[in-house]
């Protein structure tokens, strides 16, 4: 009977010095130094006998250094990015950075064309491998951000102003109005100094082109609000012109927390983009030249630059994708919306209330001279002939408006 201790003899003869961190070396030393059979070593180290023979061949050819683990990377990769595409990526990076535009991997990806267009992550790895990416480990991870944005266009407009020097060093101030939902640039202009009148004028200019917003979001600067200002008697100062205008239009005014500019993060981020673009150009000689540059920047920002926060769409695409909202006027417990209608040829306007169309006669003195835009149904009983004069159709005009009659024939 063969004692079971005989099977342990080879393991007992393995010197302690041969235990290596490299598994390949341990296998070879167990066979060459301790005399362990190949099949037994395969069972002990959980490898195949074929692999052990490969290791022994490498050991005989190159010594102990040949046992180091080799890379499993394939010698060729048919899906590797070609040198032509890599050169195009680096050229776009340099071109965008030189123009003062965003030159990240996503911006480069948006401008690449063709079937061999690499992914965003591949572009980022190429830029990092070429030393074009500055590591910023101090940044917070995106998962920790608390994002918010308006649901529809014109729900909220953000505004703020920033500084920019002219060629001779003269400081100027640039005011901007930005749609919170789409990041669409509604208005931008430069002035020597931003005043309360400037805010009101630029806001009115933006509303004339894009309609009224339901609300505004700004910081607590005195040109926007006096809610934190106090007079000598400690009472709050009177509302400024901008606050008064918003109240008259039924527009909700919102202000960020004191010393918390991230509430207006979208307009702050926009100013970074604007300044990077201006820094790539020659300094303007005067405010007129600066305003000309700003008007050149508007279509670039609104129509040529996709934005990550709105699904890689341009602000113009996001601003026109959904219907715009309007201010809501609250009187008592009822909410009212402003609606405009053209008075028809008979002196009536048509409004929808409680799901029904209401035809209100306000008098022929206010009648529109042109033809009606669409046929109106005839409502019998709303217009009756006067028994005293069959040629006359009576109406109930608004107070202060003369009643119109047809001339006698």
Q: How confident is the model at residue 108 (pLDDT cuts 50, 70, 90)?
A: confident
| Chain-centroid distance, C-alpha 142 | 14
Of residues 5 and 233, more confidence is placed in 233
Residues 172 and 316 in one domain: yes
Residues 387 and 270 in one domain: no
Residues 100 and 219 in one domain: no
Q: What is the pLDDT of residue 148?
A: 79
What is each CA distance from 396 to 250, 365, 407, in whole angstroms? 31, 11, 19
Q: How confident is the model at residue 233 (pLDDT cuts 50, 70, 90)?
A: low
Residue percentage of the chain with pLDDT more than 90: 39
**Residue 191 placed within a domain:** yes
Residue percentage of the chain with pLDDT more than 70: 76
- Which 3 state secondary structure label does DSSP give 299? helix
**Residue 144 placed within a domain:** no
**Residue 334 placed within a domain:** no
Look up the domain containing 15 and give its range: 4-67
Mean pLDDT of 399-403: 45
Residue 11 has pLDDT above 50, yes or no: no
Edge to edge, the sheet with strand 252-255 lists 185-191, 171-179, 157-165, 215-218, 252-255
Residues 192 and 302 in one domain: yes
Last residue of a domain, one of 290, 320, 350: 320
Mean pLDDT of 151-169: 95
Strands 348-353 and 356-361: antiparallel
**Residue 78 placed within a domain:** no
Q: Worst-scoring range by mean pLDDT, 13-22, 303-312, 371-380?
A: 371-380
Q: Worst-scoring range by mean pLDDT, 54-63, 168-177, 248-257, 322-331?
A: 322-331
**Residue 140 placed within a domain:** no
Of 58, 39, 63, the closest CA to residue 50 belongs to 39
Residue 129 has pLDDT above 70, yes or no: yes
Separation CA 158–CA 359 (nearest Å): 39
- Which 3 state secondary structure label does DSSP give 242? helix
Residue 134 has pLDDT above 90, yes or no: no
Residues 307 and 177 in one domain: yes
pTM over 0.85: no
Residues 172 and 313 in one domain: yes
Q: What is the pLDDT of residue 365?
A: 79
Residue 169 has pLDDT above 90, yes or no: yes
Of residues 342 and 142, more confidence is placed in 342
Q: Worst-scoring range by mean pLDDT, 86-100, 219-233, 286-300, 358-372?
A: 358-372
CB atoms within 10 A of CB 287: 17
Residue 178 in contact with residue 220, Cβ under 8 Å? Answer: no
Mean pLDDT of 294-306: 93
Residue 104 has pLDDT above 90, yes or no: no
Residues 194 and 298 in one domain: yes
Q: How confident is the model at residue 361 (pLDDT cuts 50, 70, 90)?
A: confident
Please give the mean pLDDT across all residues of the chain.
Answer: 80
* Helices vs strands, H then E, count in the chain: 12, 9
Mean pLDDT of 209-217: 95
Mean pLDDT of 278-291: 95
Residues 107 and 47 in one domain: no
Q: In the chain, how many domains are there?
A: 4
Q: How confident is the model at residue 405 (pLDDT cuts 50, 70, 90)?
A: very low
Burial class (CB in 10 A: 0-12, 13-18, 19+), 392: middle
Residues 54 and 116 in one domain: no
Of residues 288 and 115, more confidence is placed in 288
**Residue 74 placed within a domain:** no
Residue 393 has pLDDT above 70, yes or no: no
Residues 88 and 63 in one domain: no
Mean pLDDT of 184-198: 96
Residues 129 and 203 in one domain: no
3-class secondary structure per residue, 181-214 = CCCCEEEEEEECCCCHHHHHHHHHHHHHHHCCCC
Q: What is the pLDDT of residue 331?
A: 58
Mean pLDDT of 225-252: 84
Token digits for 338? Answer: 């402003």
């Amino acid at each position: 009977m063969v004692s079971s201790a005989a099977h342990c003899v080879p393991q007992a003869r393995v010197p302690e010095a041969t235990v290596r961190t490299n598994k390949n070396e341990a296998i070879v030393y167990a066979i060459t130094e301790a005399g362990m059979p190949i099949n037994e070593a395969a069972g002990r180290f959980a490898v195949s006998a074929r692999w052990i023979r490969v290791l022994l061949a490498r050991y005989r050819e190159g010594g102990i250094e040949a046992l180091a683990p080799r890379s499993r990377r394939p010698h060729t990769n048919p899906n590797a990015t070609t040198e032509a595409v890599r050169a195009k990526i680096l050229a776009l990076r340099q071109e965008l950075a030189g123009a003062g535009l965003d030159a990240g991997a996503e911006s480069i990806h948006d401008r690449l064309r063709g079937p061999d267009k690499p992914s965003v992550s591949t572009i980022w790895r190429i830029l990092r491998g070429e030393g074009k990416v500055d590591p910023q480990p101090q940044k917070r991870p995106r998962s920790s951000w608390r994002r918010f944005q308006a649901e529809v266009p014109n729900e909220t407009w953000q505004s703020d102003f920033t500084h920019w020097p002219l060629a001779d060093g003269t400081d100027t101030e640039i005011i901007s109005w930005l749609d919170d939902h789409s990041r669409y640039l509604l208005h931008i202009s430069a002035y020597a100094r931003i005043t309360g009148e400037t805010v009101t004028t630029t806001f009115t200019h933006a509303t004339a082109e894009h309609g009224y917003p339901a609300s505004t979001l700004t910081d607590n600067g005195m040109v926007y609000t006096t809610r934190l200002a106090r007079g000598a008697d400690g009472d709050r100062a009177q509302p400024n012109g901008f606050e008064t205008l918003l109240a008259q239009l039924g527009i909700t005014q919102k202000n960020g927390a004191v010393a918390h500019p991230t509430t207006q993060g979208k307009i702050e981020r926009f100013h970074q983009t604007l300044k990077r673009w201006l820094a790539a150009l020659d300094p303007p000689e005067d405010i007129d030249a600066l305003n000309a540059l700003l008007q050149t920047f508007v279509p670039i920002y609104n129509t040529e630059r996709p934005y990550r926060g709105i699904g890689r769409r341009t602000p113009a695409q996001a601003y026109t994708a959904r219907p715009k909202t309007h201010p809501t006027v609250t009187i008592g417990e009822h909410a009212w919306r402003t609606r405009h209608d053209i008075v028809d040829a008979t002196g009536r306007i048509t409004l929808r209330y409680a799901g029904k169309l209401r035809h209100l006669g306000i008098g022929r003195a206010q009648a529109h001279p042109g033809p009606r835009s669409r046929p109106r149904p005839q409502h019998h009983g709303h217009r009756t002939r006067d028994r005293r004069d069959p040629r006359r159709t009576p109406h109930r005009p608004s107070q202060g408006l003369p009643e119109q009659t047809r001339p006698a024939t």
